[in-house]
Amino acid sequence: MGGRIRRIRRRGGRARHRLRPQPPGPRGKVAKSANFSTSPDVVDRFGHGTHVAATIAGSGAAAGGTRKGAAPGAKLYVGKVLGDDGTASASEVLQGMEWAATSGAKVINMSLGGGATDGTDDLSAGLNELTARTGALFVVAAGNDGQDGASTIGTPGTADSALTVGAVDRKDELAPFSSMGPRQGDQAVKPDITAPGVGIVAARAAGTSLGEVVDQYYTAASGTSMATPHVAGAAAILAQRYPQWTAQQLKDGLASTSKPSAGLNAFQQGGGRVAVAAAAVRPGVFATGTLNLGPVTNDSGPVRKEITYTNTTSAPITITPKLDLRRGDGATPGDAVKLEKSTVEVPAGGTATMAITVDSAALVPGNYTGSVLVGAVHTTVGLVKEPPKHKVTVTGIGRDGKAHPMDLQIFGDDMRYDIVRDVVSDHPFVTELPEGTYYARAMFHTGLAPDEELAIVLKPEFTITKDLNLVMDARSAVPVEIKTPRPSTLENIISSYAHREFGSRKISNYVMEFPGVRHIYVTPTQKVKNGTFEFGTRWQLTAPMLTATTLPWVAVKTELFYYASSPAISGFKWLGVVPVDGGKPEQFAKARGKIALVIPAKDGTNPDTAAKQAAAAGAAMAMVVSLPGEHTYAHWQPRGNRLPIPTVRITNEQGMNLADRARFGFTSMFLQGTPVSPYLYDIMQVTHDQIPQKIVYQVSERNSATVTANYHATGKDEWLSEQRFGWRPWEKTAINQYQRYAHTGTAREEIVSTDETIWQHRVNNKLSWDTFQPLAVGMLDQPHTLSPGQRATENWYAPVVRPAIPRGAGLETSRTGDTFAFRIPEFADPETSHYAFSESGIGEEPDQVSAKLYQDGKLVKEGPAAWGKFPASADPAKYRLDLSLTKSTPDWAYGTHTETSWTFGSKRPAEGTTDLLPLLQVDYGVQTDLTQKARAGRSLPVEFTVRNQDGMAAPKNPQLTVEVSYDDGRTWTNVRRMDSLGGGRFRAVVDQPRLDRTNGFVALRVHGSDGDGNAVRQTVLRAYGLS
SS (H, E, C) 303-348: EEEEEEEEECCCCCEEECCEEEEEECCCCCCHHHEEECCCCEEECC
pLDDT for 135 equals 96
Q: For the chain, first and last CA: distance in Å?
A: 52
Rounded Cα distance between 63 and 82, Å, is 29
Which CATH class name applies to 291-385?
mainly beta
pLDDT beyond 70 at 4: no
Q: Confidence class of residue 494 from pLDDT cuts 50, 70 and 90? A: confident
Q: How far is CA 916 from CA 214, 258, 920, 958, 1015, in A?
A: 17, 36, 12, 18, 15
Rounded Cα distance between 55 and 68, Å, is 7
Domain 546-673 annotated CATH 3.50.30.30: yes
Give the pLDDT mean for 344-358: 96
Nearest to 785 by CA among 808, 738, 752: 752
Rounded Cα distance between 213 and 820, Å, is 11
Q: Kindly state the DSSP code that residue 895 receives in the 8-state scheme.
A: S
pLDDT beyond 90 at 991: yes
Return mean pLDDT, the chain. Answer: 90
pLDDT beyond 60 at 517: yes
Rounded Cα distance between 150 and 269, Å, is 12
Which CATH class name applies to 8-281?
alpha beta
Rounded Cα distance between 479 and 918, Å, is 57
Work out whether strand 389-397 and strand 621-625 pair parallel, antiparallel, or are unpaired. unpaired
Nearest to 799 by CA among 934, 702, 599: 934
pLDDT beyond 70 at 412: yes
Asked if residues 252 and 288 have their Cβ atoms less than 8 Å apart, the reply is yes
pLDDT for 40 equals 78
Q: Confidence class of residue 7 from pLDDT cuts 50, 70 and 90? A: very low
Rounded Cα distance between 354 and 364, Å, is 24
Q: Give 570-592 pLDDT, tens digit per residue.
A: 999 999 999 998 767 788 999 99
Asked if residues 540 and 738 have their Cβ atoms less than 8 Å apart, the reply is yes
CATH topology of domain 705-796: Immunoglobulin-like (2.60.40)
Asked if domains 8-281 and 546-673 share a fold, the reply is: no
Rounded Cα distance between 926 and 1000, Å, is 16
pLDDT for 450 equals 41
Q: Using H for helix, E for strand and C for coil, what is the string for 11-54?
A: CCCCCCCECCCCCCCCCCCEEEEEECCCCCCCECCCCHHHHHHH
What amino acid is encoded at 411 in this protein? F
Q: Give 799-809 pLDDT, tens digit per residue.
A: 999 999 999 99
Give the pLDDT mean for 638-651: 91
pLDDT beyond 80 at 61: no
Nearest to 142 by CA among 94, 110, 100: 110
pLDDT for 396 equals 96
* Strand ranges across the sheet with 377-385: 290-292, 377-385, 366-374, 322-327
Give me the half-sphere count of Cα atoms (radius 13 Å) on the Cβ side of residue 138: 37
Q: Is 544 helix (H, G, I), strand (E, B) or coil?
A: coil
Rounded Cα distance between 141 and 144, Å, is 9
Q: Give 451-483 pLDDT, tens digit per residue.
A: 478 999 999 999 999 999 999 999 999 999 999
Higher pLDDT, 735 or 326: 326
Higher pLDDT, 622 or 640: 622
- Percent of the chain exceeding pLDDT 70 equals 94
Rounded Cα distance between 595 and 667, Å, is 10
Return the domain boundaries, the chain: 8-281, 291-385, 389-462+470-542, 546-673, 705-796, 814-1026
Q: Confidence class of residue 531 from pLDDT cuts 50, 70 and 90? A: very high
- Percent of the chain exceeding pLDDT 90 equals 73
pLDDT for 734 equals 87
